Structure 1
Amino acid sequence: MTRNVFVIGLNELNADRLRRLRGVDDVQFHPLLTPAQVSETQEFDIPAMLKEAEDTLDAFDGSIDAIVGYIDFPVSTMLPLLCRKYGVRNSSLESMLKCEHKYWSRKVMAEAIPDHVPKFTAFDPFDDDALSKIGEADLRFPFFVKPIKSSGSRLGFRIDSPEDFDYATEKLRAEIGQISEPFNYVMEQADLPDDIRAVEGHYCMAEQVIGGRQCTVEGYVYEGEVVPYGTVDSIRYPQVLSFFYYLYPSTLPRRVQDKMHEITRTIMGHIGYDNAGFNIEYYWDEVQNKIWLLEINTRIAQSHCDLFEMVDGVSHQQVTIDLGLGRRPDMPRGEGPQEVAAEFFYRVFFTDATVARVPSRAEIEVAAEQVPGTRITSYVSRNMKLSELPEQDAYSFAVASVWMGAHKTSKLLWNYEQVMKRLNYEFTDIAE
């Protein structure tokens, strides 16, 4: 019997990945909403998207066996609502919000793993006295601010002075509504404590600056059992907050990874998250031998799919599909053709610019051919403004991504340089 799995925001790249998974010969994958609606925009009308998704599901003449996704907001917060309505497996909306509502998440962490949580407080960026109230919460410069709900590194700022805070609040006031209004709708659907409901979607977090070697632990919970299955290093460009590449498997000491896995099992069990994938971002402060938990995401990291396929043999979408169908994930280890793999981000560090030239499709193909198995995605087109790119951090623009594998990290970095020599981007109207 064919089992029907609906995938929110399914595109052709991910459809190909899904068809290569284990145990899907009897699975039919169906798109639910388009990538343009859920990931290629900064406008999210969640009630309208839910209605369209429900209309599609109601009109389907067959069994609905799973509803899944691999994208951050708004997909991650729509999934529990749809799964609840159609009686398919996923974690509860409240357990997801304990991860995605950053203030609630920090409060829950402080209960279960207090030694791994920085000082934090919530604040209203529209409050002219916000900076003094942050000080009353025992947070001093430098600290970091970010929205209560965001995706990627969008609207995240390091604050070293009152001037930095003024700049950040100006940007937050101008742009936070794109996330806060749809997130408030999701919050209204949940059973929340009064103190959490009062911290609405337009609020922000101020947190003690933490640092060290950053990584992401990918994991899942199956019938109450928390299973971390892989750790990916997050390497930044020198002296800036922007990511240069993600590297799998992690080069952190085994004892550090084991401790992160222990923390992961503790916090996810405490939250009550179940029957879904997740990832947790950590820092290891090597000098103090201190592990900090940065944040929890209620999805697998899409950026890591190719890395797991290159090293382990299949994309870790295996986890998402198996859990959606109610079975223990059949995630292999070390069965891929490469020893290490990475996603590199080609970035430009402008305030804004106009794209004057992009590599042609043929040029991209030639560049990818420099290293077998390389995949390149360009995010810009000629004459567009960089500020039109969605989901960017506050310090740079990701112009392209390059996924590739190798037998060792040094060879991987050398290969990346050879590929990038073939890609020529040009920019005008540059605002430094």
Structure 2
Amino acid sequence: MTKNVFVVGLNPMNAERLKRLRGVEDVTFHQLLTPAQVYETQEFDIPAMLAEAEATLDAFDGSIDAIVGYMDFPVSTMLPLLCQKYGTPNASLESLLKCEHKYWSRSVMRESVPDHIPKFTAFDPFDDTALSKIGEAELRFPFFIKPIKSSGSRLGFRIDSPEDFDYAIEKLRAEIRLIGEPFDHVLSQADLPDEIRAIEGHYCMAEQVIGGRQCTVEGYVHNGEVVPYGTVDSIRYPQVLSFFYYLYPSTLPERIRDKMNEITRTIMSHIGYDNAGFNVEYYWDEVQDKIWLLEINTRIAQSHCDLFEMVDGVSHQQVTIDLGLGRKPDMPQGEGPSKVAAEFFYRVFFNDATVSRVPSEAEIQVAAEQVEGTRIASHVTKGMQLSELPEQDAYSYAVASIWMGAGKHSKLLWNYEQVMKRLNYEFSDIVE
């Protein structure tokens, strides 16, 4: 019998990835809502999206065997609602929100892994006395602020002075309701403790600055068993907060990776998250030999898909599909053609600009051919404003992603330079 798997926001790149998974010979993948509706936009009408998704599912003449996704908000928060209605496996809405609602998440971390989290407090960015209230919570400069629900690194700021805070507040007040209001709709569907319900979707978090070598532990929970299966290093550009590349496998010491896995099992079990994939972001402060838990994401990282395929032989979309179908994930290790793999981000550090030239399809193909197995995704089109790109951090724009594998780390960096020489982007009307 053919199994029907509905993928929210399925795009061509991920459709190709899904075809290469194990055990999908009898699976038909269906797009549920378009990428334009759930990703290539900054306006999220969740009730309308849910209504359209349900209409599609109700009209389908066949079995609905799984409903899955690989994106952050709003997809991640819609999945529990859809899966509950149609009886397919997924984490409960409340357990998902214990990860995605940053204040609730920090609160449950404080209950179970208190030695690995920073000082934190929630605040209302529309409160003119917010800065003094942050001080009353014993947070001093510098600290980070971010929305209680965001996507990627959007609207996250390091605050070193009152002027930094004023700048961030201006940005937050202008944009935070774009996610805050739809997130409030999701919160209204959940059974929340009173102290969490008081922290509305437009609220923000202030946190003590933490840092060190950053990484992500990818994992899943199947019938109550928490399984971390890989650690990916997150390497930033020098002196800035923007990511340069993701590297797999991690170069962190084994004892540190083992400890992170132990913390991961503890927190995910405490939350009660089950039958879904996740990843947990960490820092290792080498000087203090201290592990900090940054945040939990309730989906696999699609940026890491090709890294797992290049090193282990299969994308970790395997986890998403297997769990969606109610089976234990079939994730191999070390069966890929490369020893190491990375996703590099080609970034420009402008406030804004117009894209005046992008490489042609032929130029991209020639660039990829410089290193066997390289995959390139361009994120911009000629004539667009960089500020139109979704899910960007506060300091730069990622105009392209380059995935590649190699036999060793140093060779990866050399290969990246050879590919980038062939990718010619140009910009005008630059706002520094």
TM-score (norm 2): 0.99
- Partner Cα separation in structure 2 for residue 114 and residue 184 of structure 1: 28
CA drift of 1:24 comes to 1.0
Q: Is structure 2 residue 371 aligned with structure 1 residue 371? A: yes
- Partner Cα separation in structure 1 for residue 343 and residue 373 of structure 2: 12
Q: Is structure 2 residue 299 aligned with structure 1 residue 299? A: yes
- Partner Cα separation in structure 1 for residue 319 and residue 313 of structure 2: 13
- Partner Cα separation in structure 2 for residue 194 and residue 319 of structure 1: 34
Find the counterpart in structure 2 of residue 77 from structure 1: 77
Q: Is structure 2 residue 130 aligned with structure 1 residue 130? A: yes
- Partner Cα separation in structure 2 for residue 401 and residue 14 of structure 1: 14
CA drift of 1:360 comes to 1.1
Tell me the alpha carbon deviations over residues 125-182 of structure 1, each in whole angstroms, 9 at most, x when there is no partner.
0000000000000000000000000011000000000000000000000000110010
CA drift of 1:354 comes to 1.1
- Partner Cα separation in structure 2 for residue 410 and residue 87 of structure 1: 48
Structure 2 SS opposite 1:169: helix
CA drift of 1:92 comes to 0.2
- Partner Cα separation in structure 2 for residue 286 and residue 267 of structure 1: 23
Tell me the alpha carbon deviations over residues 362-416 of structure 1, each in whole angstroms, 9 at most, x when there is no partner.
1111101000111111111112111111111000011111000000010000000
Give structure 1 stretches of 5+ with no counterpart. none
Find the counterpart in structure 2 of residue 172 from structure 1: 172
Q: In the TM superposition, what are the counterparts of 1:91-110 in structure 2 within 5 Å?
A: 91-110=91-110
Find the counterpart in structure 2 of residue 342 from structure 1: 342
- Partner Cα separation in structure 2 for residue 397 and residue 368 of structure 1: 21
CA drift of 1:76 comes to 0.2
Q: Is structure 2 residue 224 aligned with structure 1 residue 224? A: yes
TM-score (norm 1): 0.99
Find the counterpart in structure 1 of residue 384 from structure 2: 384
* Larger displacement relative to structure 2 (330-339 or 20-29): 20-29
Tell me the alpha carbon deviations over residues 171-194 of structure 1, each in whole angstroms, 9 at most, x when there is no partner.
000000110010000000000001
- Partner Cα separation in structure 1 for residue 151 and residue 241 of structure 2: 15
Amino acid at match of 1:18: L
Structure 2 SS opposite 1:309: helix
Find the counterpart in structure 1 of residue 59 from structure 2: 59
Structure 1 SS opposite 2:90: coil
- Partner Cα separation in structure 1 for residue 11 and residue 133 of structure 2: 45
- Partner Cα separation in structure 2 for residue 19 and residue 368 of structure 1: 21
Structure 1 SS opposite 2:14: helix
Tell me the alpha carbon deviations over residues 253-309 of structure 1, each in whole angstroms, 9 at most, x when there is no partner.
000000000000000000000000000000000000000000000000000000000
CA drift of 1:45 comes to 0.5
Amino acid at match of 1:55: A
Find the counterpart in structure 1 of residue 236 from structure 2: 236
How many residues are paired up? 432
Find the counterpart in structure 2 of residue 120 from structure 1: 120
Structure 2 SS opposite 1:329: coil
Amino acid at match of 2:40: E
Tell me the alpha carbon deviations over residues 70-119 of structure 1, each in whole angstroms, 9 at most, x when there is no partner.
00000000000000000110010000000000000000000000000100
CA drift of 1:28 comes to 1.1
Find the counterpart in structure 2 of residue 21 from structure 1: 21
Find the counterpart in structure 2 of residue 354 from structure 1: 354
Find the counterpart in structure 2 of residue 86 from structure 1: 86
CA drift of 1:48 comes to 0.4
Find the counterpart in structure 2 of residue 330 from structure 1: 330
Amino acid at match of 1:71: M
Q: In the TM superposition, what are the counterparts of 1:282-321 in structure 2 within 5 Å?
A: 282-321=282-321
- Partner Cα separation in structure 2 for residue 32 and residue 110 of structure 1: 37
Find the counterpart in structure 2 of residue 185 from structure 1: 185
- Partner Cα separation in structure 1 for residue 80 and residue 356 of structure 2: 42
Give structure 2 stretches of 5+ with no counterpart. none
Q: In the TM superposition, what are the counterparts of 1:149-160 in structure 2 within 5 Å?
A: 149-160=149-160
Find the counterpart in structure 2 of residue 43 from structure 1: 43
CA drift of 1:49 comes to 0.4
- Partner Cα separation in structure 2 for residue 426 and residue 196 of structure 1: 46
Find the counterpart in structure 2 of residue 2 from structure 1: 2
CA drift of 1:12 comes to 1.6
CA drift of 1:317 comes to 0.5
- Partner Cα separation in structure 2 for residue 356 and residue 87 of structure 1: 48
